[in-house]
């Protein structure tokens, strides 16, 4: 099994719909992150969580919300999807020491039509 | 604000060396990273360097860090077609999360 699992892998949804992207990790790390990747823009931080009771906004949190259900689970929601939220979304986890960087999931490709 | 800058494209011939450059902004960054993303895949950690180091070598990869100029480079020796990918530079921001550059697309021709 992958260290970081994201579901779904691909999703097409309509404008205005609510959608949840899920992430789970088996690394046993406290820290988890959601990033968004757009062509030519690199990865931008949406939200991050350093433990179950800690949630922090990133650079581009507007239009998104998150829930840290457990140490291993961190979900990202789009309350009312819009077309410019079409992107590749990555979840990641880290141990906070910096020694090993972040471990990323395979990504969720979301298309809002 | 914080920003990590990279050139967007690099094209090399197979067997040549590739050098990808990056500038970062936070002088307190403890670690600096290089990630690789192959087409349709997630991000894979290639290598990283601790801020008190000037250089790190790992097989075909050499990372150089110039803290004074806040400049980081990744050299890939004997570049192969399998090295074609997007390479991201990232800095660890104190108390937050990794900040990534926009990525450099490396194209290797045979």
pLDDT digits (tens, 9 = 90+) for A4-27: 999 999 999 999 999 999 999 999
- Return the structure tokens found at B61: 């990869």
Please give the residue of chain A at the shortest CA–CA distance from B42: A106
Over chain A, what is the mean pLDDT?
A: 94
Interface contact A107-B35, CB threshold 8 A = no
Write down the pLDDT at residue B94.
Answer: 67
**Cα–Cα dist A90/A112, whole Å:** 17
B74: phi > 0 → left, psi -120 to 50 → alpha, else beta; which? beta
- Per-residue pLDDT of chain B (110 residues), as tens digits, is 458 999 899 999 999 999 999 999 877 778 899 999 998 888 999 999 988 899 999 999 999 999 999 999 999 999 999 999 999 999 987 667 899 999 999 999 98
Interface test with A, best of B1, B4, B23, B42 (most A CBs within 10 A): B42
A97 falls in which pLDDT band (50, 70, 90)?
confident
Contacting B residues, span 44-73, partner chain A, CB-CB under 8 Å: 44-45, 48, 50
* Contact call for residues A22 and A73 (beta carbons, < 8 A): yes
pLDDT above 90 for A56: yes
Write down the pLDDT at residue B95.
Answer: 66
Cα of B85 to nearest chain A Cα, Å: 13
Write down the pLDDT at residue A101.
Answer: 84
Interface test with A, best of B5, B87, B97 (most A CBs within 10 A): B97
Write down the pLDDT at residue B1.
Answer: 47
């Amino acid at each position: 099994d992958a260290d970081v699992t994201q579901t779904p892998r691909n999703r097409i949804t309509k404008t205005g719909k609510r959608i949840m992207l899920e992430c789970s990790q088996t690394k046993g790390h406290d820290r988890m992150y959601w990033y968004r990747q757009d062509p030519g823009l690199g990865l931008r931080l949406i939200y991050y969580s350093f433990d179950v009771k800690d949630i922090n906004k990133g650079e581009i949190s507007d239009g998104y919300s998150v829930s840290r259900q457990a140490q291993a689970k961190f979900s990202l929601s789009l309350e009312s999807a819009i077309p410019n939220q079409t992107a590749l979304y990555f979840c990641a986890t880290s141990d906070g020491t910096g020694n090993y960087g972040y471990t990323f999931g395979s990504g969720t490709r979301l298309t809002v039509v | 604000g914080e920003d990590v800058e990279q050139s967007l494209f690099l094209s090399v011939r197979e067997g040549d060396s590739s050098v990808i450059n990056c500038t970062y902004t936070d002088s307190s960054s403890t670690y600096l990273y290089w990630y690789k993303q192959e087409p349709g895949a997630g991000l894979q950690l290639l290598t990283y360097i601790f801020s008190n180091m000037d250089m790190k070598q790992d097989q075909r990869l050499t990372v150089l860090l110039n803290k004074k100029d806040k400049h980081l480079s990744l050299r890939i020796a004997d570049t192969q077609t399998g090295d074609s990918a997007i390479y991201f530079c990232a800095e660890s921001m104190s108390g937050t999360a990794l900040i990534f550059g926009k990525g450099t697309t490396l194209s290797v021709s045979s």
